[in-house]
Structure 1
């Protein structure tokens, strides 16, 4: 696990660099897209590179981490619409190249199984963007989630709904209680995980993720067992890290040829 501590613009640049390197080497790469606040600066940087430097997504495919259950097709906070607004509609991703779990399916378990199979059929995710919740959840894998879990329906904790209420005009009751989410086992199958976190509210979760014991109480800690994880955090989110000085020294001493 590599930990990089920097300002948000630099973190966005590093994440965008990794995605650009992947797409330049493999134009048909499979990306894993996250929603929430953490990846927005990354998406803005990717759009800039698409518009100004010719970075193309035309052959790429992408899979979303999760989706709310029951939100209408035209709801602005439906994650499929969020991804369209923040990235897909701003670059040259082909129509139908971005897939997400179907939160409006009549048979939700069948939809989850079909989504898992679609990821397998695509050859798996090459690079997965992630955020982290204040309680350590990744995607919508709340505390207590199985480390072997696959795409499934989950009930959101009250804390997660409180955290996400800002996207629903501050109304906790407007945040759906259920979602479909890639499982921790699904996420761990991606070849490169890039997790972004900023703000002091994420500091304890980041501390547990990087330096705590692997525990279902902090679902993100399973990432410690992944062979290629990059954790990109700002100073506030890094404020609880006991080895922050070492992480800075390690990153500063990296050979010029070594990327994240």
Structure 2
């Protein structure tokens, strides 16, 4: 499966030319015209690498990196700019950028840097840190801190898996139980033990609360998320959303 690269640049011609070069080398590409548009794309898709311009309308490269860090994301990013690297490198490297490519550059330099960066980061994808899943386990399980280590690890793993796959349209009890490496019977028994609800109810509550956090913090709409999830009716999605975000 080829790596997917997001190009963030307000110069459409330049962005499209980069995209063409990368496609010829076997990469998938998408383009965003500014940081704000890029953040929406990131929430709804997975990318292996970002190519980031600095000076853009609505949200600059700096604003984009700051927003990523506020949301606790790890994102392999190459800054692509005509500015002198000495003027900006400290700021962007401190924000987590991996490398810098100064405009203009030749195609072989671009491909070499992209290839090396992807190898270096081991195809890092967008994963929110587990410390900010948008849900409090204490609100769901009052005696969480009195549970044994093995029990806590199961719950922590469950939350991480739900968060990682909350926008996957294959999401189901079967899907999650397989990801956590339990048989359906074992998984159902564990979930009922801790949450005192059916596995479907628990996963729906966790999933929609995390989706709610996603929407609120990142200027997304219900219709955008509904479309991503493959719902044929945004009305039905809204009903499920309203039902589960208010449950505990």
Both proteins in one fold, TM over 0.5:
no
* Higher relative contact order, chain-length normalized (CA < 8 Å, sep 6+): 1
* TM-score, length-scaled by structure 2: 0.31
More helix by share: 2
* TM-score, length-scaled by structure 1: 0.29
| Larger Rg computed on CA atoms | 2
